Amino acid sequence: MNGTIYSVITGTGNYIPPRCIKNEDFLSNEFYDKDGKKLDKSGQEIIEKFLAITTIAERRYVAEDLVTSDIAYFAAEDAIKSANIDKEELDYIIVAHNFGDVRNDNKRLDIVPSLAARVKHKLEIKSPDAIAYDLPFGCPGWLQAVIQADYFIKSGDAKKVLVIGADVLSRVSDPHDRDSMLYADGAGAVVMEAKQGENPTGILAHKTRSDTLVYSQMLFMGKSYNPDNENKDDIFLKMNGRKLYQYALENVPQAIKGCLEKSNVHLSEIKKVLIHQANGKMDYAMLKRLYGLFDNVEMPEDIMPMTVGWLGNSSVATIPTLLDLILKGKLEPHKINEGDLIVFASVGAGMNINAMVYKV
């Protein structure tokens, strides 16, 4: 068959931990500010304000005996089954994550061997030609791994690629920091395959930017806000929320616009915007800003499906989980139909931003 080679998603999967943590479960937490001063607000006031700012009411945590590579494997199995492929035919297995296998009883970084190698082992893939590696790139890691897979496929180097996003943020969250309520655990995966033809399909264009000179410390690892924390050596995920919000608002819509222009697709043609589920209020603000960049384009009410309110921010897992839920009819009334044009976008630690235009 003649024609251009395109990268197409043929299978999706996810793992959503069954353990649900509601905002009320944080009422007994003692919260401190970054200067180590205990907040004088009541727990009820704190969780009510948090909900108003983020739209997050609950999130999911993994069971104590599971680590990131375990849930990455669960999502991978789901995606492989969905794609109905022989796992031995995979050319690459890419796992996007940020913290490795953080165990419940040991917070040390564990990334040797790579999580991708561990997932390949759990899948019992024998082929030495299935190259397994990890990609740490902040919350945009899964989408960046998809972009890398697109390069492999379009170069002719690969025909089938498994791309997984998985993180267990509950174990790197400071229980004395209000931002800990943002974070969740989860995994999502896709199988991508080469499709050759005359009509454009799959990934049409992508765009990535990395702003480290000024913004590299928007997300970082630091000590507990509680000066009396039992283990002084523990470090936790920290965020400069206000500056990050402004950075995302100013730059993510512009990145999406640039990607749309690169793909020769107009915003009015887009059926869904699948954006990293970081903070509901921030995501809506970015979407509104995006539509403000285009003249005479009305923003549809159902353009941006959301899961952050009940799944929280599971980092690299948010977009593939969202995609899987929609495609499998588990996020009604949202649907994605053949021929639909979709935008994917993410922002996170680095600071990094990426966007992709995809035709179903």
Task: Report mean pLDDT in 10-residue bins for the chain, 360 residues.
Answer: 89 98 96 94 95 97 98 98 98 98 90 98 98 98 98 97 98 96 98 96 97 95 90 89 94 98 97 97 97 95 97 98 98 96 97 98
- Name the maximum alpha-carbon separation found in the chain: 68
pLDDT of residue 232: 76
Here the contacts of 211-216 (C-beta below 8 Å, separation 24 or greater) are: 211/247, 211/251, 211/350, 211/351, 211/352, 211/353, 212/350, 212/351, 215/243, 215/247, 215/350, 215/351, 216/350, 216/351
Q: What tokens appear for 221 in the block?
A: 């690892």
Q: What is residue 101's predicted lDDT score, i.e. its pLDDT?
A: 97
What is the per-residue pLDDT for 107? 83
Domains of the chain and any CATH numbers: 4-197 (3.40.47.10), 202-359 (3.40.47.10)
Range list of β-strands (E), the chain: 4-15, 19-22, 58-61, 92-96, 131-135, 160-168, 185-197, 202-210, 219-222, 236-239, 270-275, 341-348, 352-359
The reply to whether the predicted model has a pTM over 0.75 is yes
